[in-house]
Structure 1
């Protein structure tokens, strides 16, 4: 069992290393986000599975797998939101990008802005 834990941790370290190299070596923001959202999620996932296997307790395994589920569900959504915000803000892809599949799908005057939420008006009769 300890061999499985070592293999999972080494696999996780490998994919986290690949994600770090991807952040440093990739030419633009979009490729860097792809490297981090894919490889880092897999690396962290392998390490969390190793934690669950190593401790072999229901409470630890449940927390590790819940954390893994949270990361697997939120990392792609966060990468998509950052990529969309970068695209709408005018961040250009690298010169090797030949096709802009989003061109023409957004209006030229599309702006990213937050919506102000006003508190509900208090009732003077209370």
Structure 2
């Protein structure tokens, strides 16, 4: 991950979105977006809102995290999107069947953020 952050900084990216799949206990479900900064919170809200409106998922909300490398290692406004729980069958079905819908929702969230600046 350090290399990805370094490349983002070297390139001069304005926005950094890290896509992940959660795992916990096979029962947990849902989507959450993590942020560190004020602008990161705005971006996280825009992305989370678009995802929740687009797919049938559990809204786990937007959460501040100060301890994640991808949020600390980049100069850009950064968020980490936990799209779904890969160890939950219902969420795994969302990833298998609706990934295109999820990533389009993320893209709309980014454009919402850019339009709001």
TM bin (shorter chain): 0.3 to 0.5
With the length of structure 2 as denominator, give the TM-score of the two structures: 0.33
With the length of structure 1 as denominator, give the TM-score of the two structures: 0.31
> Which has the larger share of helix?
1
> Which has the larger share of strand?
2
Q: Which protein has the larger Cα radius of gyration, Structure 1 or Structure 2?
A: 1
Between the two structures, name the one with larger relative contact order (CA 8 Å, sep ≥ 6).
Answer: 2
